[in-house]
Amino acid sequence: MKNKFFTTFLFSGLLFSGVVAQNAFNCNSHEQYQKQMQQDASFKKNQEQLEQETKALIANMAMAKPAAAAPYIIPVVFHVIYTTAYGNISDAQIIDQVAILNKEFNRQQADTLLTPSAFLPVAGKFNVEFRLATLDPNGNCTNGINRVYSTLSNCSVNENDVKAVSYWPSNMYLNIWLTQSMHYSNSTDCGGGGYATFPGGAATNDGINIRGDLIGNIGTAATNSGWGNFKGRYLIHELGHWFNLRHIWGDAICGNDQVADTPPAVSSNSSCPVFPRNPFNSCGSGASGEMFTNYMDYTNGPCLNMFTAGQVTRMTAALSSSISGRNNLWSTSNLNATGTNNPYTYPVACASEPDVLPLTPIIACVDDSVLITDNSYGGSVSSRVWNFGNAGASSLSNGAVKVKYSAPGVYSFTLTNNYLSSSKTRVFSNKVYILPNVTSASYVVPFTDSFEDVNAYLNDWTVVDRDNDAVSWEITASTAYTDFNSIYIANFDNRAPTVDEIISPPYNLSAVENPTLTFMLHSARRTTTDNDQLQVFISNNCGATWNSIYFKSGSALKTILANQASSYTPAVTSADWRLEKINIQPFMATGIVHFKFAFTGGGGNNIFIDDINLDGINTTGLKSIQAPALLRVFPNPANNYLNVKWSAHSKAGGDIDVVDVLGRSCLQIKNGSALMKENTTVIDIAGLENGVYFINLRQNGQVLSTTKFVKQSAE
C-alpha cells in the first residue's frame, strides 16, 4: 500500500509531467485494487489463489502454452457510452485500437527498434489475439460495438455506475466501456483517463473503463490536444492490469511488481526519458536504470513499446486461471458462442442495431407532429418496420417518419431492421411524452398544488426519466411541508449524473400580470464535494423549447447546513425546508405554459418539493371595469432618453416602474394624478446599464400594462 510520502511524490510527479507533456497517465487501477483488497474478502481470497497459481506456473514453465501454439483469442465488446457526437467515436477508431493491441502484445509494431538494447534480452511476446465479437450474448449478429446514450458518460460520480448501462457476461467477453469524461471516487475532478479491474472481483464490474478519446491512433484520439496522443497504448497499459500486472514501481517507493525481470524503480517515470534512466538507483536498478519503455510505466505513448518475458508469464497465468473466468474466454466453446472462432470474418453481414434520433426523450403536445429518424448502426438495412401502436404515422417503412398522438401520455414504439436473413427489433420504452395543450378548469391562477390528490398527480404531471432507470420523481407520504404528501427523488441511492424531470400541467397566463412561482424545497448534501443541481424551466410552446428561470447547485441548493451521510428525510413543516420564489415576469410568459423541474444528481442526498404555488394579478376583472391601458415606448432601442406613452381612461394616480430581467426595480416615476388620456412622459435612462428592461404601468396598485425596451449606448 502506498504510504503518504509516496502519494504526495507521485501526484507531484504527475503535475510536473502535465507541464512538460499533456499526455500524462492518470491510471486509477491500483487505487481500485487496494479498495477491493480492503473491502471485498472474496476478491482478496481470489487474488491470493491467483498468486499461488502464478508462482506454480513460474516454477514449472512446462505448464505454459508453447510460444508456437495457437494464440489465446479474446472476444471483445466495446460499449460506447455517450451524449454527444464527440463521445460517440467511430467504428474505424475502435477497429484501429484492436489492430494496435494485436500488433503490440505480439511485439510486431515498428518502434520495437526504439527499445534500448539493454532491455531487448528480456522483451517478451504475448501470443494473444483480440477479436471483436460477431455474436452477442443472445446469439444475435453483432459487430462487437454497442452504443448507448447515457448522461453517465459525463463524469459519473461512481466510476463503476456506467457498467450497469451496458454489460455482457465477463466470462464470455472482455468488456471495455468508453466514456466522454471520468471521475475517480478518490478525486475531486473529472480528469480520470481509465482503469481496469484485476482478476477476482465481481463479474459485473470486470473489464476496463477508459475515455473514448484515448482509443486508437486516429479520430478523436489524434485530435485530443488536452491529453495528447497515446498511440492506443493507454488501453494496453490498462489491459496489463486486467491481466494481473502491477505498475513497474510496485505502487510504492522501490515497490515490488512481482516480476523478476523488470528492474526496480523508485517511482513512476513521465514524459520520455533518455536511456539510461536513473542508473544505480537507491532500489538497486544497476547500470541500465529503470525500464521506462515498459507499458506498465507512466511515460508517454510514443515511449512505450514492451512487456518483459516475466510479465508475459504473469499474464499467461491470469488467462489460464478460472479466476474471473479468464480461462473460459479463449475456450473453443466460447469462441463459437461469441463468433470469434476460426475462420474469423469481420465484419459479418448483420442487420444494423436499431437506434433513433433524437437521442433524448421526445416531448410534444397532443396532435403535434413528432419527427423520428432512423439512426441505426453496426450493420445494414434492406427494410425497416416501425410500430407506433394506435398513433398516426406518415410511414411505417421510411427512414424518417412523422407521428401524431391524439391523447396525453407516455408512449413506446419499436423499430425492426431487416437485412438478408437477420432481423433486429428494439423497443424504445417511454420515449415519447405527450403533454395536454388545453388548460384544465382545476388549474387557474392563483393555484396551489401540495400533491394531496394522488390521482391528479398521476394524471396531470409528467415524469421524464431521461436515463430510463429505476430512480425518478415520485410522490411520497413520508414527509411534506404541509399536509401529508410531497414529491421527491431518492437521490441517495441514485446513480449520478443522471437527469430526472417532472413537467407540470398547463396553466393559462394570458390574463395574469406579475406571475410568480414559489415552492418549498428540501435538499441535503452527503459530502462537501457533491454537486446536485436543480433547474426550473418554462415553455409556452408545449415543450418544443424551454427557457431556464431558476438554477441552483451544490452548496446553494442545500437547505440544511450539516452533511447527511445516510439517506435523509426532512421533518414535516421544519426548518429543513426553504421557500424558493421565482419572478416569471422578466421571461414574458404568456398564454398556456408548462413548468419543468429538472434535477441532476451529483452524488448528494434526497431532494423533496412541496406546495408549488402559481400566483399573480388576474387582469380579467380589472378589464371588465375599466378600459385597458395601452403602453408604448420610443425610440426602441434607446440611448439616454425614452418616451413613454399610454392611454388610460382613469384619472386615478399611477406609477411607472422600470425593472431589469431579474425583476429588480431600477427606476420609478411617481405620477400622482397625472395619468390622463393619451399621456406622454420622458424618462432619463442614461444611468442604466446596457441591456433589456421592462416598464410596468400601475394604477391603484395593479399592473395594467407591460412592455419591453432595449438600452444601448449611443454610437
Tell me the domains of the chain and their CATH numbers: 4-64+71-252+309-338 (3.40.390.10), 356-435 (2.60.40.10), 447-618 (2.60.120.200), 622-711 (2.60.40.1930)
Segment 209-220, tens digit of pLDDT: 999 999 999 999
Name the amino acid, one letter, at 583: N
- The answer to whether 105 touches 126, Cβ cutoff 8 Å, is yes
Residue 708, pLDDT above cutoff 80: no
Residue 373, pLDDT above cutoff 90: yes
DSSP single-letter state for residue 295: T
Q: By three-state DSSP, how is residue 347 classified?
A: coil
Given this model, what pLDDT does residue 664 score? Answer: 80
Calpha distance 136→348 (Å, rounded) = 13
Given this model, what pLDDT does residue 78 score? Answer: 98
Calpha distance 556→532 (Å, rounded) = 10
Given this model, what pLDDT does residue 15 score? Answer: 29
Segment 33-65, tens digit of pLDDT: 999 999 999 999 999 999 999 999 888 765 445
Residues 418-437 have a mean pLDDT of 95
Kindly report which listed range (10-14, 320-324, 495-499) carries the lowest average pLDDT score: 10-14
Residues 334-356 have a mean pLDDT of 97
Residues 528-541 have a mean pLDDT of 94
Name the amino acid, one letter, at 363: I
Q: Which residues pair with 533 in a beta bridge?
A: 553, 600
Segment 462-493, tens digit of pLDDT: 999 888 888 999 999 999 999 999 999 999 98
Residue 22, pLDDT above cutoff 70: no
Positions annotated as catalytic residues are 238
Given this model, what pLDDT does residue 476 score? Answer: 97
Given this model, what pLDDT does residue 49 score? Answer: 96
Residues 286-301 have a mean pLDDT of 96
What is the number of H-type helices and E-type strands within the chain? 11, 35
Given this model, what pLDDT does residue 591 score? Answer: 83
Calpha distance 89→237 (Å, rounded) = 21
- The answer to whether 495 touches 164, Cβ cutoff 8 Å, is yes
How many CB atoms sit inside 10 A of residue 580's CB? 18
Q: Burial level of 689, CB count in 10 A (0-12/13-18/19+)?
A: exposed
Given this model, what pLDDT does residue 679 score? Answer: 64
Residue 429: phi and psi, rounded to 5, are -75, 135
Segment 405-418, tens digit of pLDDT: 999 999 999 999 99
Residue 53: phi and psi, rounded to 5, are -65, -40
List all residues 6 or more positions away from 500 whose beta carbon is below 8 Å from its beta carbon: 463, 464, 465, 466, 467, 471, 472, 473, 489, 598, 599, 601
Calpha distance 393→370 (Å, rounded) = 9
Residue 263: phi and psi, rounded to 5, are -60, 145
Name the amino acid, one letter, at 235: L
In total, the chain counts a number of residues equal to: 715
Kindly report which listed range (126-135, 375-384, 685-694) carries the lowest average pLDDT score: 685-694
DSSP single-letter state for residue 137: T
Q: Which residue has the cell 455506475?
A: 161
Calpha distance 55→671 (Å, rounded) = 94
Segment 618-660, tens digit of pLDDT: 665 443 333 345 667 778 778 888 888 765 544 445 678 888 7
Given this model, what pLDDT does residue 518 score? Answer: 95
DSSP single-letter state for residue 681: E
Given this model, what pLDDT does residue 691 score? Answer: 78
DSSP E strands, 113-186: 123-124, 128-132, 145-149, 174-179
List all residues 6 or more positions away from 108 whose beta carbon is below 8 Å from its beta carbon: 102
pTM over the 0.95 mark: no
Given this model, what pLDDT does residue 647 score? Answer: 59
Mean of the per-residue pLDDT values of the chain: 88
Given this model, what pLDDT does residue 71 score? Answer: 94
Kindly report which listed range (119-133, 165-179, 493-507) carries the lowest average pLDDT score: 493-507
Residues 180-198 have a mean pLDDT of 91
Given this model, what pLDDT does residue 590 score? Answer: 73
Residues 117-121 have a mean pLDDT of 97
Segment 657-700, tens digit of pLDDT: 888 766 788 888 776 434 444 567 788 888 888 877 888 877 66
Given this model, what pLDDT does residue 589 score? Answer: 66
Given this model, what pLDDT does residue 637 score? Answer: 79
Residue 91, pLDDT above cutoff 50: yes
Given this model, what pLDDT does residue 192 score? Answer: 92
- The answer to whether 473 touches 488, Cβ cutoff 8 Å, is yes
Report whether the peptide linkage leading into residue 358 is cis, meaning its omega lies within 30 degrees of zero. yes
Given this model, what pLDDT does residue 10 score? Answer: 33
Given this model, what pLDDT does residue 6 score? Answer: 31
List all residues 6 or more positions away from 687 whose beta carbon is below 8 Å from its beta carbon: none
Kindly report which listed range (226-240, 369-383, 636-650) carries the lowest average pLDDT score: 636-650
Q: Determine what percent of the chain is predicted with pLDDT higher than 90.
A: 70
- The answer to whether 584 touches 515, Cβ cutoff 8 Å, is yes
Max intra-chain CA distance, the chain: 108
Residues 98-122 have a mean pLDDT of 97
DSSP E strands, 185-286: 194-196, 208-211
Residues 523-528 have a mean pLDDT of 95
Residue 223, CB-side half-sphere exposure with 13 Å CA sphere: 6
Calpha distance 486→476 (Å, rounded) = 6
